[in-house]
């Protein structure tokens, strides 16, 4: 089957619930939506040492893709992209409002899986808890995301360090956050370094 015909077939697929949660998590993190013909496509890339993570994302989104992850030697990274899809164009049009807030329909679909992907993309450990880099969000969007985390029982503060803004998971909420994301992080060995180890968290 030709690539064009396969692409057209994929465009007719309904994006399922798991794929949507993965896509939202990726967009909160490092992924981008860009125009590909009539519609938008999702593009994902990670440094070469995170190939396992790229392959895991691909396994969840492969119905929407034609080619598997490819190595870019110049930049030492792996990347893949979905085909252009009408649902992705709709998501692109509504993800952010004119006031740079995140659309309520997007916020309502943020799940454990979405948060885990967001964390694996942009999170890092800070002593016995973690933070999530948040430079790409407006102040209003950050307030929204922090409110979503409270729904999951996670209290946060907004901090600024030499890298910029970050959402800091308060130490007393770290166990709740760990319980939420660890089942996914543990599937991807190259990502486990982002969580404090048990010795650190019991000090």
Question: Distance from CA of residue 87 to its chain's centroid?
Answer: 17
Helix or strand holding residue 52 (H, E):
helix 51-61
Say yes or no: domain 122-201 is CATH 3.10.28.10: yes
CB 201 within 8 A of CB 132: no
The pLDDT of residue 97: 86
Which phi and psi (to 5°) does residue 82 adopt?
A: -80, 175
Question: What is the per-residue pLDDT across 23-81, written as a single tens digit (0 to 9) for each?
Answer: 999 999 999 999 988 999 999 999 999 999 999 999 999 999 999 999 999 999 999 99
Residue owning tokens 């190259």: 190
Burial-class residue 74 by CB neighbours within 10 Å (0-12, 13-18, 19+). Answer: exposed
Tokens linked to 162:
């030499």
pTM of the model: 0.94
The pLDDT of residue 178: 98
Give the residue from 109, 102, 96, 133 showing the smallest Cα distance to 22: 109
Question: What is the per-residue pLDDT across 135-161, written as a single tens digit (0 to 9) for each?
Answer: 989 999 999 999 999 999 999 999 997
Per-domain boundaries in the chain: 3-95, 122-201
Task: Please tell me whether residue 141 adopts helix, strand or coil conformation.
Answer: helix
Separation of alpha carbons 169 and 154, rounded Å:
7
Q: Which CATH architecture has domain 3-95?
A: Roll (3.10)
**Do 122-201 and 3-95 have the same topology in CATH?**
yes
Which phi and psi (to 5°) does residue 56 adopt?
A: -65, -45
Tokens linked to 190:
């190259």
């Amino acid at each position: 089957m030709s690539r064009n015909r396969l692409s057209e077939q994929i465009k007719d697929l309904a994006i399922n619930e798991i794929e949507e949660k993965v896509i939202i998590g990726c967009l909160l993190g490092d992924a981008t939506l860009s125009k590909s013909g009539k519609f938008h496509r999702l593009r994902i890339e990670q440094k070469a040492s995170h190939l396992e993570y790229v392959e895991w994302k691909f396994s969840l989104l492969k119905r929407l893709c034609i080619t598997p992850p490819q190595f870019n030697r110049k930049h030492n990274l792996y990347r893949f992209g979905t085909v252009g899809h009408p649902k992705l164009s709709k998501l692109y049009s509504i993800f952010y409002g004119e006031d740079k807030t995140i659309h309520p329909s997007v916020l309502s679909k943020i799940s454990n899986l979405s948060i885990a992907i967001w964390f694996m993309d942009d999170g890092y450990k800070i002593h016995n808890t973690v933070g999530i880099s948040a430079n790409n969000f407006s102040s209003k969007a950050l307030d929204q995301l922090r409110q979503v985390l409270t729904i999951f029982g996670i209290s946060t503060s907004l901090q600024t360090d030499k890298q910029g803004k970050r959402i800091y998971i308060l130490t007393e909420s770290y166990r709740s956050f760990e319980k939420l994301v660890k089942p996914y992080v543990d599937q991807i060995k190259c990502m486990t370094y982002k969580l404090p180890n048990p010795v650190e968290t019991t000090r």
